[in-house]
Amino acid sequence: MRKKLAVVLLGLILILGLAPAAMAAGQSFSGVVEEIDKHLQDAYTTYKQGDMAGAKNLVDEAYFGPYESGQMEKAVRLNISAKRNAEVETAFKQLKKDMVKGVPASQIKQQIEQLVSGLRIDAKTLDGDLSESSTGFGAFLASFLIIVREGFEAILVIGAIIAYLVKSGYKEKVKVIYQSTAAALVASLLTAWVMTKVFSISGASREVLEGATMLLAVVVLFSVSYWLVSKSEAQRWQNYINGKVQGSLNKGSTFALWSAAFLAVYREGAETVLFYQAMMSGTTDLSMVLAGFGVGILALGMIFAIIRYASVKLPMKPFFLGTSFLLYYLAFVFAGQGVGELQTAGVISSTSVNIPTVTWLGIYPTWETLAPQLLLLAIVVAGFAYQTKNKKAGLG
């Protein structure tokens, strides 16, 4: 009970700490688009003068300034769709890429017009949504959806790991996961505070931080996923258990599970801070925001309980395979998203490929985002083939 209260209190501190600054930052998104348009028009003029590097920098200013720091990016993701935000990011990336290529100025002008036209439509949608949600039930619902949606992925990872420990006879190790969760919540708050209050971290640096965190999570989640698959056979698992001294996990496995829980919560926690900051910039009813957050926390608690206790009752092999698939899925998504964040920051190049954007799978139309995902698929196929061969050899 004390752990649950600590989570709620940390969340309330998070919202209350950001509320004054967030509410002071309110503005219409139509105005944000006009700022973006001004930057892009300056970029076009600079490009026509032959200064490609200067034009590219002005496009970065448009994205990391009005679009991201003006909270429009988060509002698009929250109130329209993640796919639409991915389309906008792709348009900015393509514009910079074409400038570096030296395409005709008429083509650059056309791309800018299309980008701004789409953003104006988005702004009208957002201004209408924020107007409707600025008071009463709208603010409550928006707050509720933020915490539930952002907390769900973390709950899936934590619930699966805890259920695994309990089912495997290592209930005493569950406290390690709770400790990593608490540490991740504190780290999320500190990161958000540092970004907004101390260093005023730039948009590009924020993208690098998010991208690096995601890619680190990919390594941890995938390694834990593969380890679970390797122990899914009852006999293998029994051999593994019998090989332990006094029934304790080895340090490496404990650290991997701790890291998986920490990274899942840390990423979602830091992102949740920014979502609330964006949402509260358009509301005047803080009490309903807090009410939505509180109800959302209760909903996450119920989701956690269902995952935690339902999973423990599953048979060994289906449970291990199901947990492994969940962690692998998250690793696959994070691989695409992480590289995408680094592309937005200009750290990694962007090579277009003619495929659709599938945000729930983390699939984006560039070879760079696809490369780590294809690598994960290849490793899975090779690992499956290896285990099948060993299994047949054992039977022989």
CATH number of the domain within which 113 lies: 1.20.120
331-354: pLDDT as tens digits: 898 899 889 888 888 888 888 888
Same domain, 237 and 301: yes
- Structural tokens at position 129: 């949504």
Q: What's residue 277's pLDDT?
A: 58
The span from the CA of 363 to the CA of 335, in Å, is 9
| Any domain includes 144 | no
| Any domain includes 143 | no
Same domain, 122 and 154: no
Q: Which amino acid is present at 125?
A: T
Q: What's residue 274's pLDDT?
A: 57
- Distances from the Cα of 287 to the Cαs of 19, 110, 135, 136, 151, in angstroms? 11, 45, 10, 9, 21
Same domain, 351 and 207: yes
Region of 357 (left: φ > 0; alpha: ψ -120 to 50; beta: rest) is beta
Q: What's residue 372's pLDDT?
A: 94
Same domain, 363 and 228: yes
The dihedral built from the CA positions of residue 357, 362, 366 and 370, taken in this order, carries a sign that is negative
Low-confidence ranges of the chain (pLDDT < 50): 1-26, 133-134, 199, 234, 237-238, 240-248, 252, 282, 284, 395-396
Same domain, 203 and 105: no
Q: Hey, what long-range contacts does 244-253 have (CB within 8 A, 24 or more apart)?
A: 247/169, 247/170, 248/170, 249/170, 249/173, 253/227
Same domain, 123 and 155: no
The span from the CA of 175 to the CA of 193, in Å, is 27
Q: Do 369 and 343 meet the contact criterion of CB atoms below 8 Å apart?
A: yes
| Any domain includes 2 | no
Domain total in the chain: 2
Same domain, 68 and 33: yes
| Any domain includes 142 | no
Q: What's residue 69's pLDDT?
A: 74
pTM of the model: 0.58
Same domain, 44 and 174: no
- Structural tokens at position 192: 């958000």
Same domain, 183 and 42: no
Q: How many CA atoms lie within 13 A of 245 on its CB side?
A: 2
The last residue of a domain, from among 77, 97, 132: 132
Same domain, 81 and 205: no
Q: What's residue 16's pLDDT?
A: 37
Same domain, 186 and 314: yes
| Any domain includes 169 | yes
Same domain, 97 and 179: no
Domain region containing 314: 150-395
Q: Which DSSP symbol is given to 199? A: S
The last residue of a domain, from among 105, 132, 159: 132
| Any domain includes 4 | no
148-186: pLDDT as tens digits: 877 777 787 787 778 777 777 777 778 888 888 889 888
